[in-house]
Structure 1
Amino acid sequence: MTSDKLPLLTPYPRPNHVRRLRQERERRRGRIGIFASAAVGIVAIGGGTVAFATESPAQSEAAQTQLATAETAEKAQDVIDSANALLERADTEAVDASTLTGYVDYLEGYESMPDEVAVDAAEKTEAEVASVTDDMTAYEDEQAALEKEKAEQKAREKQQAEEAAAAEAEAAAAAEAQAAANTVEGAKASARDIMMSTYGWGDDQFACLDSLWTKESGWNYQASNPSSGAYGIPQSLPGSKMATVADDWETNATTQVTWGLDYISRAYGVPCSAWGHSQAVNWY
């Protein structure tokens, strides 16, 4: 059995001592060669270390580099996952994600990188993720503001259209009601209502009023006397006097009736008195 320990030498070595030293040196060189071969095998089989063989077996034994650790690998994969998710979100020409794409492509080889290189690549990729996230958030906020403005504008246009339609319908209803009120029967109905609500006159007074204004205008709101200039259902002279009620005195039978009843009340007290005067002198 041989010993790995060097033999002890006397101050003056004998010839057999020198021979044993030479044999021990050769055995040590053999063990270094075997270790170097094993280190090369680790590159092909293992994933934890990589050995770089050199011409010197001693250098081959020492030149081992630690690949990405489990902790670094987990961190790198997390960064890659978040970066890929962001790249899907940032699939728009408005945000430049080309640098991040390059970082991800490089970092995906983290398993074959030295640990320090993998850590650095993960940190740079993570920083680029933060930068692109800021850009994407700003872009999304801007798009959201534009969409909100579009929605609000659409709502305003819809409201304006609805209001215009309602106003148009109201105007049409008012025009229809006015047209009905301007007929002979409509004017008589308005006169009867105003007589009762404003003056308290009953059907007997309405009968006199009906006779009076049938004689004057036939209850025609457009009746005009070419010789005197009297106008409307009550034959106001001039017709512009009826503007004291409303500006639409030329086209609104209700305005004319309102003015005419007020005139009768002030001048004669009741329609039957006005009718009696008209029968006597042919005017009222």
Structure 2
Amino acid sequence: MSRISVRGFAVASATAVTTVGAVVGVASGGAQQPANDFEAAAGEATLLADIPAGQQAQVQTASLAQQADAQSIAADAVTKKAVEEAARKAAAEAATEKKAAAEKAAEQAEREAKERKEAEEKASRSETRDATSFATQSSYTVAQVQAMARQMVPADQFQCFSNIVNHESTWNYRASNPSSGAYGLVQALPGSKMASAGADWQTNPATQIKWGLNYMDQRYGSPCGAWSFWQANNWY
């Protein structure tokens, strides 16, 4: 496209605008454009008329193509922005759903682990012997008393139970505290509390173990719970 043709189209456009503006100004009663403006427009129109008709069409076509390109670029930008926003929103929703699924899975795993632990503890307790399953004797050695406890206390709780008995009575089932009245392996206070586990609470270590285990379970949840409390307070 020649430099003259482009200028010619620009001049034609300016002339048209100027002319229309002048007419509108007169029709509305406004001030008329100076005479020299009309003269300039007339001169520019003469320049446009000097350009061959074919070149004028080329100039007009090029201008329309540029406008179409600009509109297309603007539309592409809007579309791109909408696509990016939709992708961002979808990614955020996916992340939220993934987080919720992970939290739900963690809760399920925790619940299953808790149920499994409770089942194992229940099974462990069902395998332990009851106090009445031991033959009564006139006296018991420390080794015999400990053997009873191993058969009555769940395996995973025995060490905690043993720690408390070691501190309270050193496994002496006849241990008595004259100042407080505490008695037996677990130093029940008063000792007569152990009658709930059996009338022979004073002489049968199995009865004392049964009562002590029930006490620890009910008050602290388990012998290990009781041992944790004992470590913090030196009593339970």
Q: What TM-score, normalized to structure 1?
A: 0.34
| Structure (1/2) with the larger helix percentage | 2
Give 1 or 2 for the bigger CA radius of gyration: 1
Q: What TM-score, normalized to structure 2?
A: 0.41
